[in-house]
Amino acid sequence: MEKKQKKQIAELEFQKLIKLANQANGMLLGSHIYLLVMFAVMHVDFMVWVNVVSILVYLVNFYLIRRNMNLFFGNTYVEILLHMTLAIVAVGWDSGFQIYAFALMLTIYYCDYIGKKIGTPSLHPRVVSIAVAVLYVLLYVESHYFSAFYTLKNPKSYQSFYIVNAIFVLVFIIIYVENFEALVLQTEERLTEAAEKDELTMLDNRRSMQERLNQLLNEKDKKGEIAVAILDIDDFKLVNDTYGHSVGDMILKEVALRMKEKESKAIRVCRWGGEEFLVLAVGDAAYQNLIVVICDLLEKIRGDKYYYGKKCIQITISAGVSQWENEEKIEHTISRADACLYEAKAGGKDQYIAKKVKDRG
């Protein structure tokens, strides 16, 4: 993949992270506004002021998200831990504020993952998670040996706090798990594409085509014909030697685009190696359909013009076509196509030679 493409992907990932961070920050801001109202209604004045500070932190975070992601992560971690600690000290363990620790641990690893992807790794997630776990235990011990600063007059208020906190945490976890799954799937897709695609032309690579051929021949109920063609750019070494490899790469990409135009369910193209391409045709009349495709490619590529400065470059291709014979190894079919290609080269280039097997009866 070219540097420009990699830069575009990195920018897209960063923009997705920014969007996700804004969503998370907005959700945390909204939760603290709601908690501020609840604490005010229940006359827990200390936590009202704590939530005022928390709201200011998340307002500042909107500014930090695009400017300093690490500081944004740090502010969020510290705020959640402090708010959780102060809330438990203020109204007790039964209020359920300790369950934010579980969401925080998940978020720590998630933030570390996306931070590494954009080149801004956060604090070591294991260290921070252990610290959170230790704090969780300490708060549990503290709440069972010391009374809370505030005793809520209505016992159902504790249930209200617990339910609200549980809902916030569950929604938070669901959103982050869904986004993490999306990131993992995107990464897997890119890895699969990198393994199956040729980096320069973005056609299937040789390995991918070989797997396709093996799968095709292993099918129990093979229907129709199978035919392959090997195509080679004529005098490609001369192009590289005369104009340089950058021009050679440009021509390879343009030829690949021409071939890509021919792809369908019945026609697949790959870069076989160097300036060679392989075209696979399957289905009824695959051999004749492949001949039509090769003839059209020869004509179009012969007429294409490529410019290097003021010079106009024109190229041709040669091809060898072969039909798969029942029960034979696909390597033998490809070898016949390769032999036809060399025959086309020896016979003057800019042409194709094809050999069809006898009817399979």
Half-sphere exposure of 150 (CA within 13 A, CB side): 23
Q: Read off the CATH number of the domain in which 276 is found.
A: 3.30.70.270
Could you tell me how far CA 129 lies from the centroid of its own chain? 27
| Residues 178 and 210 grouped into a single domain | no
| Residues 165 and 289 grouped into a single domain | no
Could you tell me if residue 8 is inside a domain? Answer: yes
Q: Is pLDDT of 1 > 50?
A: no
Q: How large is the greatest C-alpha to C-alpha distance in the chain, in angstroms? A: 99
| Residues 232 and 191 grouped into a single domain | no
Confidence of residue 68 (pLDDT cuts 50, 70, 90): confident
Is 276 marked active-site? Answer: no
Could you tell me if residue 305 is inside a domain? Answer: yes
Could you tell me if residue 262 is inside a domain? Answer: yes
Could you tell me if residue 361 is inside a domain? Answer: no
160: Cβ contacts below 8 Å, ≥ 6 apart? 38
| Residues 126 and 211 grouped into a single domain | no
| Residues 222 and 338 grouped into a single domain | yes
Q: Please identify, among 168, 196, 224, the residue that sits at the C-terminal boundary of a domain.
A: 196
Q: Which residue, 121, 79, 81, is CA-closest to 98? A: 81
Q: Please identify, among 172, 196, 220, the residue that sits at the C-terminal boundary of a domain.
A: 196
Q: What distance in Å separates the CA atoms of residue 57 and residue 253, rounded to the nearest whole number?
A: 51
* Domain extent at residue 282: 206-355
Tokens of 85: 């600690």
Cβ-count burial of 245 within 10 angstroms (0-12 exposed, 13-18 middle, 19+ buried)?
A: exposed
Could you tell me if residue 201 is inside a domain? Answer: no
Catalytically annotated residue among 189, 261, 275, 276? 275
| Residues 9 and 103 grouped into a single domain | yes
| Residues 141 and 268 grouped into a single domain | no
CB of 338 closer than 8 Å to CB of 318: no
| Residues 293 and 319 grouped into a single domain | yes
| Residues 53 and 127 grouped into a single domain | yes
| Residues 104 and 20 grouped into a single domain | yes
| Residues 156 and 225 grouped into a single domain | no
Sole residue written with tokens 């109202």: 37
Helices within 42-68 (DSSP H only): 45-64
Helix (H, G, I), strand (E, B) or coil at 324: coil
**Which amino acid would we find at residue 73?**
F
Instruction: Please give the mean pLDDT across all residues of the chain.
Output: 87
Average pLDDT over residues 282-292: 93
Average pLDDT over residues 263-274: 94
Q: Give the chain's domain count.
A: 2
Could you tell me if residue 360 is inside a domain? Answer: no
Look up residue 318 and give its DSSP letter.
Answer: E
pLDDT of residue 248: 93
**Best mean pLDDT range from 225-234, 304-313, 350-359:** 225-234
Q: Is pLDDT of 246 > 70?
A: yes
The reported pTM is: 0.61
Q: Please identify, among 175, 196, 217, the residue that sits at the C-terminal boundary of a domain.
A: 196
CB of 173 closer than 8 Å to CB of 110: no
- 180-185: which pairs have CB atoms within 8 A and are 24 or more residues apart? 180/110, 180/113, 183/113, 183/114, 183/117
Could you tell me if residue 348 is inside a domain? Answer: yes
**Which amino acid would we find at residue 64?**
L
| Residues 251 and 192 grouped into a single domain | no
